[in-house]
């Protein structure tokens, strides 16, 4: 990067910004990632549970996007291990979705059918078969559906690895202060951004990517493109149990239980639309703990470790990936809501392709940010 001029400025160093930086840097484009926090990946991308779910979706083309991203994970995990010596703890643990009654069974079996039609494997299990796989599951379950392709990753390690890998290929990082303004120039009747203001200083680039999670809407508004991206608060409870009660990710009763490689177990997560409030509440923790114990009574004996909160970037029909209307050098990559960890690899690749070849390998048409 020349002093104060980068090829691409990426605003936001969460998992999405870092995945884009990693992809661009490998293509010999020099990005500068700017984050308001003192290190990258401290917001939703740190707080996430790290589930990579093959059944995250309902309507095409979203499932195709999820699947494409999930498929990138095994090789990306290996690549990051080689390049950065960081193990992102990608584990194909599968998800066991348990049901307690007929209505829940019907919903889950319908989901399993739709997944099979999209080429995923699923297995509907009786309660006995589920107990055989996971003996600590409640005796009240009526059955389960196994989604064997589901996996998990340690997202904080993933962000660190992506950032380290990007830096190794020439990306630069400026952390600790937010982008507060854009510098625009009118050219041939159109708008272009030429710089961003950080701590009173203008930093210039040819192209800009807004990857600021649930804060992205505030930035697009400064460019006179109102896009509603809301924070969706999620509370997680971390406990520890030895031996770990499960091998699989287990979900049911509106929550998931994730057994991590280090023996700790995540119980998550609430979905609350309460603005930018990051308070961990007793009620939020109670909901997770009550449902966790109903799924596996033994969890009542586990040791409480901590709770935390993160703000998912929610848009009604997301994610939003593409050029901002009215600008030919500003790209938005946000609104990944509950699946940003899953979708980070494909987002990095598609935005990398968009900016270098103009031809992403999957159409971004359905994900265009059109403003509201
Ligand atoms: C409790 C919880 C559980 C989740 N579980 C999962 C899961 O199991 N699987 C999954 O796939 N996804 C999960 N998610 C969702 C996932 O974490 C998010 O979709 C993803 O992290 C979004 O990444 P991001 O980079 O867009 O946003 P963020 O991680 O929020 O990053 C945005 C970055 O932009 C920076 N920023 C904002 N404004 C500015 C500015 N003006 N200037 C400079 N920097 C700025 C912020 O500091 C931040 O670092 C979960 C989320 C939560 C909260």
Domain boundaries, the chain: 5-87+155-229+316-367, 95-149+230-314
**48 in Cβ contact with 341 (< 8 Å):** yes
Q: What is the pLDDT of residue 123?
A: 93
C-alpha distances in Å from residue 178, one per residue of 13, 50, 174, 220, 355: 11, 26, 10, 14, 24
168 CA to centre of ligand 1 in angstroms? 23
Q: Please state whether the peptide bond connecting residue 319 to the residue before it is cis, i.e. omega within 30 degrees of 0.
A: yes
Cα separation, 21 vs 183, in Å, equals 22
Q: Report whether pLDDT(129) > 80.
A: yes
| Residue of 167, 152, 151 lying closest to 80 (CA atoms) | 167
Q: Once rounded to an integer, what is the mean pLDDT over residues 114-129?
A: 89
| pLDDT-based confidence at residue 338 (cuts at 50, 70, 90) | very high
Q: Which of 23, 340, 351, 369 to mutate to test the pocket of ligand 1 (most atoms within 8 A of CB)?
A: 340
Q: What is the pLDDT of residue 58?
A: 64
Closest atom of ligand 1 to CA, residue 51: 8
Tell me the pTM: 0.97
**233 in Cβ contact with 43 (< 8 Å):** no
117 CA to centre of ligand 1 in angstroms? 31
Q: Report whether pLDDT(57) > 70.
A: no
Q: Count other Cβ atoms within 10 Å, centred on residue 254.
A: 11
| pLDDT-based confidence at residue 56 (cuts at 50, 70, 90) | low
Q: What is the pLDDT of residue 189?
A: 66
45 CA to centre of ligand 1 in angstroms? 4
Residues 6 or more apart in contact with residue 178 via CB below 8 angstroms: 34, 36, 198
| pLDDT-based confidence at residue 337 (cuts at 50, 70, 90) | very high
Q: What is the pLDDT of residue 317?
A: 87
163 CA to centre of ligand 1 in angstroms? 15
Q: What is the pLDDT of residue 3?
A: 63
Q: Over the chain, what HEC string results?
A: CECCEEEEEEECCCHHHHHHHHHHHHCCCCEEEEECCCCCCCCHHHHCCCEECCCCCCCCCHHHHHHHHHHHHHHHHHHHHHHHCCCCCCECCCEEEEECCHHHHHHHHHHHHHHHHCCCCCEEEEHHHHHHHCCCCCCCCCEEEEECCCEECCHHHHHHHHHHHHHHCCCEEEECCCEEEEEEEEECCEEEEEEEEECCEEEEEEEEEECCHHHHHHHHHHCCCCCCCEEEEEEEEEEECCCCCCCCEEEECCEEEEECCCCEEEEECCCECECECCCCCHHHHHHHHHHHHHHCHHHHHCEEEEEEEEEEEECCCCCEEEECCCECCEEEEECCHHHHHHHHHHHHHHHHHHHHCCCCCCCCHHHCCCCC
**295 in Cβ contact with 257 (< 8 Å):** yes
Cα separation, 290 vs 301, in Å, equals 13
The fold for domain 95-149+230-314 equals D-Amino Acid Oxidase; Chain A, domain 2 (3.30.9)
Q: Once rounded to an integer, what is the mean pLDDT over residues 350-372?
A: 92
Structure tokens at 333: 């990559």
**6 in Cβ contact with 172 (< 8 Å):** yes
Decide if domain 5-87+155-229+316-367 falls under CATH 3.90.25.10. no
172 CA to centre of ligand 1 in angstroms? 20
Q: Report whether pLDDT(114) > 90.
A: no
Lowest mean pLDDT among 40-44, 105-109, 207-211, 284-288: 105-109
How does the average pLDDT of the chain come out, rounded? 94
Q: Report whether pLDDT(254) > 90.
A: yes
Looking at ligand 1, which residue's alpha carbon is closest to its atom 26?
A: 213
Cα separation, 98 vs 209, in Å, equals 40
Closest atom of ligand 1 to CA, residue 152: 8
How far from each other are the two terminal CA atoms of the chain, in whole angstroms? 35
Cα separation, 341 vs 332, in Å, equals 17
Q: What is the pLDDT of residue 320?
A: 97
Q: Report whether pLDDT(371) > 70.
A: no
Structure tokens at 97: 């979705």
Q: What is the pLDDT of residue 86?
A: 98
Closest atom of ligand 1 to CA, residue 311: 53
Looking at ligand 1, which residue's alpha carbon is closest to its atom 21?
A: 45
217 CA to centre of ligand 1 in angstroms? 14
Q: What are the pocket residues of ligand 1 if the criterion is a CB atom closer than 6 Å to any ligand atom?
A: 11-17, 34-37, 42-45, 47-51, 178-179, 211-213, 215, 219, 234, 236, 268-269, 310, 312-313, 334, 336-342
Q: What is the pLDDT of residue 372?
A: 53
Q: Count other Cβ atoms within 10 Å, centred on residue 365.
A: 9
Structure tokens at 287: 């909901």
Closest atom of ligand 1 to CA, residue 34: 43
**144 in Cβ contact with 125 (< 8 Å):** yes
Q: Report whether pLDDT(349) > 80.
A: yes
Looking at ligand 1, which residue's alpha carbon is closest to its atom 2?
A: 48
Q: Which of 56, 57, 212, 281 to mutate to test the pocket of ligand 1 (most atoms within 8 A of CB)?
A: 212
């Amino acid at each position: 990067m020349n002093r104060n001029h980068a090829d691409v400025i990426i605003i936001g160093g969460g998992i999405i910004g870092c995945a884009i930086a990693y992809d661009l840097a490998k293509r010999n484009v020099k990005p500068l990632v700017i984050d308001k926090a003192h290190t990258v990946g401290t917001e939703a991308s740190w707080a996430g549970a790290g589930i990579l779910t093959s059944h995250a979706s309902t309507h095409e083309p979203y499932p195709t996007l999820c699947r494409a991203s999930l498929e990138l994970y095994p090789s990306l995990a290996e690549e990051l291990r080689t390049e950065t010596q960081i193990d992102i703890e990608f584990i194909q643990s599968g998800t066991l979705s348990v049901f307690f009654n007929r209505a829940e069974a019907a919903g889950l079996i319908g989901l399993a059918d739709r997944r099979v039609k999209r080429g995923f494997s699923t297995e509907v299990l009786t309660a006995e078969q589920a107990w055989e796989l996971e003996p600590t599951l409640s005796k009240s379950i009526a059955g389960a559906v196994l989604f064997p392709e589901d996996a998990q990753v340690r997202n904080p390690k993933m962000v660190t690895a992506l950032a380290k890998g990007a830096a190794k290929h020439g990306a630069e990082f400026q952390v600790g202060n937010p982008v507060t303004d854009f510098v625009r120039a009118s050219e041939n009747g159109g708008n272009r951004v030429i710089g961003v203001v950080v701590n009173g200083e203008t930093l210039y680039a040819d192209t800009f990517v807004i990857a600021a999670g649930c804060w992205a809407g505030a930035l697009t508004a400064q460019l006179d493109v109102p896009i509603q991206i809301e924070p969706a608060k999620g509370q997680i409870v971390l406990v520890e149990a030895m031996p770990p009660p499960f091998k699989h990710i287990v979900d049911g009763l509106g929550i998931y239980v994730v057994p991590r490689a280090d023996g700790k177990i995540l119980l998550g997560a609430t979905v609350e639309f309460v603005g930018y409030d990051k308070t961990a509440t007793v009620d939020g923790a109670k909901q997770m703990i009550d449902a966790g114990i109903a799924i596996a009574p033994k969890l009542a004996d586990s040791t409480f470790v901590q709770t935390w909160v993160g703000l998912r970037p929610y848009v009604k029909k997301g994610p939003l990936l593409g050029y901002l209307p009215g600008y030919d050098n500003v790209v938005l990559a946000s609104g990944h809501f509950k699946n940003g960890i899953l979708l980070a690899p494909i987002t990095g690749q598609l935005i990398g392709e968009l900016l270098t070849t103009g031809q992403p390998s999957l159409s971004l048409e359905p994900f265009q940010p059109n403003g509201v």
